[in-house]
Amino acid sequence: MAFGFFKKKEPAATPTPASPAAPLPDDPTVEPPPEKKGLLKRLTKAISKTRMILSRKVLGLVGLGQKIDDDILEKLEEAMIEADFGVETSGFLMDVVRSAWKNSTIETTDQVLPFLQKDLKHRLTHRGNALNFAKAGPSVILVVGVNGAGKTTSVAKLAWYLTSIGKKVVLAAADTFRAAAVEQLKTWSQRIGCEIVTGADRADPASVAHRGAERLLESGADVLLVDTAGRLHTQKNLMDELRKIHAACAAKKIEGAPHETILVLDATTGQNALNQADMFKQAANVTGLFLAKLDGTAKGGAVLTINERVEIPVKFVGLGEGVEDMQPFDADQFVDALFDLKDLASAQATGEPA
Ligand code: GDP
Ligand code: MG
């Protein structure tokens, strides 16, 4: 099978300067606070379809420690495709399992899922999932994506998140092509309690970014978040706009800005999301993904496929329409929820599907 796109050379790891406010890995011995438990529940629900089918189908195949053979591997691949991993991701995952079997890293079926879990965690984390901040001084985060992907909402979510970890945030409403987008962001900024810079209707987005950078420096804030227009009429159009915004930040002598360019993808749109990612990657130096609307997919496979295909780390997931309905992406938690081995084991013991 051809899985050429998975075998592209890996880009150099995104440098992730340690930030004192960067989220710490979860300590499994500490009981998560209620709001975090709620989000974990929602994450689990978001991937419930994949999870359910995986549990039911895969359990019978790999639950018992029998010797792996070609027939079992073929059935396992079918089960993965049904679990919405998609043909390509399933094929790829099975490629990984097959070669591990051929070189005797795994020999019995009960080793398949633990092996895959470890492998997937590596795939989802090896590019670094933490937000990049400036090494010194304030940071600029550009948020890009097509109209309707969830950009403005994700900007608000990022503002809420950054504020909650103690950063002072300024918003620049640089999507000046839709008056509603400016109003939407204004409303969020009032709720979150952060400053917002807006421009006149149809103002040059770069001028709004420029004023945002000015306010960032004047107000001594930590982070400027720039909402952009999702215009993709032509790639040149998009590139020109992004270039101007880059130049506006550079003119303010904010070294290294933008420190992050976050591409917002609607996780429910499958192949479209992948096409958009290709487009934006060519136009801008995208450094991280915000996968919005994961609550609307019920298919966890989307995260894996996007991660493999786009080759840019998933940094945040959106789990609803409110500002708090988001999470910094936690690959361990995600993969554990996807292949809940505890559930599998107890289902096996009772003979019930998990
Ligand atoms: P933009 O055009 O890219 O700026 O997209 P918006 O931020 O305006 O969002 C478009 C629609 O998607 C709005 O109705 C949002 O409430 C909704 N939306 C954004 N993020 C999420 C999410 O994570 N989950 C759900 N269910 N809806 C979302
Ligand atoms: Mg918008």
| pLDDT tens-digit series, residues 249-294 | 777 778 889 999 999 999 888 888 999 999 888 888 899 999 999 8
* Residue 18 to residue 344: CA distance in whole angstroms: 37
At 289, phi and psi to the nearest 5?
Answer: -110, 140
**59 CB contacts (<8 Å, ≥6 apart)?**
344, 347, 348, 353, 354
**pLDDT at residue 36, rounded to an integer:** 54
DSSP element (H, E) containing 265:
strand 260-266
* Residue 336 to residue 44: CA distance in whole angstroms: 10
**pLDDT at residue 251, rounded to an integer:** 76
In the predicted model, what is the mean pLDDT of the chain? 81
User: For the chain, what is the radius of gyration of the CA atoms?
Assistant: 22
Model confidence at 153, in pLDDT bands (50, 70, 90)? very high
Per the DSSP assignment, residues forming a β-bridge with 108 are 67
Do 130-337 and 47-127 have the same topology in CATH?
no
Instruction: Identify which ligand lies nearest to the alpha carbon of 154.
Output: 1
The mean pLDDT value for 46-71 works out to: 73
Residue nearest to atom 22 of ligand 1 (CA): 293
At 18, phi and psi to the nearest 5?
Answer: -65, 135
DSSP string, 85-114: IHHHHHHHHHHHHHHHHHTTS--BGGGHHH
**218 CB contacts (<8 Å, ≥6 apart)?**
none
**pLDDT at residue 341, rounded to an integer:** 56
CA dihedral 215→264→152→164, nearest 10 degrees, is -60
The mean pLDDT value for 196-218 works out to: 91
Ligand 1 pocket, residue 152 CB under 6 Å? yes
- Under CATH, what is the fold of the domain 47-127? Four Helix Bundle (Hemerythrin (Met), subunit A) (1.20.120)
**Distances in whole angstroms, Cα of residue 195 to Cα of each of 59, 77, 140, 141, 281:** 52, 51, 14, 15, 30
Atom of ligand 1 nearest to the CA of 149: 3
Return the DSSP state at 18: -
pLDDT at 304 over 80: yes
pLDDT at 212 over 80: yes
pLDDT at 145 over 80: yes
Length of the chain: 354
**pLDDT at residue 264, rounded to an integer:** 96
Instruction: Identify which ligand lies nearest to the alpha carbon of 188.
Output: 1
The mean pLDDT value for 116-121 works out to: 91
Q: Which CATH class is domain 130-337?
A: alpha beta
At 191, phi and psi to the nearest 5?
Answer: -65, -40
pTM of the model: 0.83
* Residue 139 to residue 216: CA distance in whole angstroms: 9
**132 CB contacts (<8 Å, ≥6 apart)?**
14, 15, 16, 17, 139, 259, 260, 287, 288
**pLDDT at residue 26, rounded to an integer:** 40
pLDDT at 33 over 90: no
Model confidence at 312, in pLDDT bands (50, 70, 90)? very high
Domain segments of the chain as ranges = 47-127, 130-337
* Residue 254 to residue 251: CA distance in whole angstroms: 8
The mean pLDDT value for 55-83 works out to: 80
Ligand 1 pocket, residue 145 CB under 6 Å? yes
- As a whole-number percent, the residues of the chain with pLDDT over 90 amount to 43
Say if CB 239 and CB 118 are below 8 A apart: no
Return the DSSP state at 58: I
Selected residue with higher pLDDT from 126 and 201? 126
Ligand 1 pocket, residue 150 CB under 6 Å? yes
pLDDT at 162 over 70: yes
Residue nearest to atom 28 of ligand 1 (CA): 321
Model confidence at 154, in pLDDT bands (50, 70, 90)? very high
Ligand 1 pocket, residue 324 CB under 6 Å? no
pLDDT in tens, 83-107: 767 777 788 788 889 999 999 999 9
**pLDDT at residue 288, rounded to an integer:** 97
Output the CA 235–ligand 1 centroid distance in Å. 23
